[in-house]
Amino acid sequence: MQQRQMQKKIPAKPLTTRADILPSEKPARSIIEQGRLDCDLLYAGRDRHNENIGPLIKAGADIFTKNTDGQTPLHWIACGGYADSCILIMEEYRSAGKDPKEMIAATDRDGLTPLHWAAKYGQPQICELLISRYAKSGGKPKELIDAKSKDGMSAFYLAAWGGQTEACAILLKEWKKAKGSAKELIDAKDNNNMTLLSRAVCSEDPETCALLIREYGEAGGDPKELIFAKNDYGLTPFHLAAGSERGAKNCILLIRECAKAGGDVKKLITSTDNNGNTALHSAAFFGKNDSCKLLIDECTKAGLDPREFIAARNSNGDTVLSEARKRKYTETARFFELMDKQLQLIAATVGDESLVPFMASFRQCIGQ
């Protein structure tokens, strides 16, 4: 009997829940669960779901997690322009006993900080916020603004390249506030020896180019140095503007600013790169009809013989017409063919020196 009693099972105590379980006593999340939270936070920043960022942080998402490209949530949030979420994530980082300066200066695989991203995607308010918070954490604003990526580009450089005029203006203001020289900032080149102006002329906004030239002159620089600067291939900003998508506007701006600074407009228009290409060659090479028409018009205004301009050959022996034909830009080639006929007619009827009749013929050619 005693043995049987000993064999009786002791009934298990009913399970109870506790409302006072301390965080340290709570079961840890699995790696998969934590990874899902972290990914959701990155995606919320990337996909601009600002409303999800705060709840994800409160749910335990790692605010300093990185994706395979080395980007943190702050990179993506800064890119999206979410000031309140930027503040939230930086305050959470501070609450964890860490220095927000580290988060603001964190770089991705390409050496880009959140400030680079905010500048590149035209978020002037975020640029100002990041610089302010960096300074409050003991950082030097100049170091952040001038921090270079692996390609040698600062946040200001990327803003200028993208035609982000407002972001450029904010970064310049903060740079000058930190006793930096605007001339020094605008003079910067990347690892390919490309100036900011050379990059800015490829954007759609002439205002960015105008800002760079104006600020450079006000800082004591000579605007002509910017306008005539060549990269390793001998290309000036004028060459690059002529070959870009909406470069005609920037070509007009460069001609105007060159004349205003006392520069030689004829030299600007006829300048050649290392392979003997003029800006007109660049426009023909990329099939940019508006730039082709503009350059010939400006050539005659500057007192140059348009026939020589069109017939000029590069080091490979190519004229603008042969370049357009080789690249199969039919409309561009047709434009030069019509222009050649008009020029022959002018030469046969009014003489070589007459440019006024040519202008009338040119306008007729444009209208066809």
Give the residue from 164, 180, 196 where a domain finishes: 180
Evaluate whether residue 10 is within a structural domain: no
In contact, 276 and 265? CB cutoff 8 Å: no
Give the residue from 151, 180, 209 where a domain finishes: 180
Give the residue from 161, 180, 199 where a domain finishes: 180
Q: Do 142 and 192 have their domain in common? A: no
Q: Do 204 and 352 have their domain in common? A: yes
- pLDDT digit string, tens, across residues 218-232: 999 999 999 999 999
Q: How far apart are CA 366 and CA 368, in angstroms?
A: 6
Evaluate whether residue 16 is within a structural domain: no
3-state DSSP call for residue 189? strand
- pLDDT digit string, tens, across residues 320-351: 999 999 999 999 999 999 988 877 777 676 66
Q: Is 47 exposed, middle or buried (0-12, 13-18, 19+ CB in 10 A)?
A: exposed
Q: Do 173 and 231 have their domain in common? A: no
Q: Do 147 and 194 have their domain in common? A: no
User: Is the confidence at residue 355, as pLDDT, over 70?
Assistant: no
**Long-range contacts of 294-297, Cβ-Cβ distance < 8 Å, separation of 24 or more:** 294/248, 294/251, 294/252, 295/242, 295/251, 295/269, 296/339, 296/362, 297/359, 297/362
User: Is the confidence at residue 126, as pLDDT, over 90?
Assistant: yes
Alpha helices in 229-329 (DSSP H): 237-242, 247-260, 265-270, 279-285, 289-301, 306-311, 320-326
Give percent above pLDDT 70 in the chain: 86
Tokens for 191? 């690892």
Evaluate whether residue 11 is within a structural domain: no
Q: Which domain holds residue 158?
A: 30-180
Evaluate whether residue 5 is within a structural domain: no
Evaluate whether residue 56 is within a structural domain: yes
Cβ–Cβ contacts within 10 Å for residue 19, how many? 4
Q: What is the mean pLDDT of the chain?
A: 85
Average pLDDT on 296-314 reads 88
Q: Do 42 and 191 have their domain in common? A: no
Evaluate whether residue 6 is within a structural domain: no
- pLDDT digit string, tens, across residues 20-65: 434 444 456 677 777 788 788 887 777 767 777 778 888 877 878 8
| Number of folded domains that form the chain | 2
Q: Do 219 and 352 have their domain in common? A: yes
CATH number at residue 307: 1.25.40.20
pTM for the full predicted model: 0.82
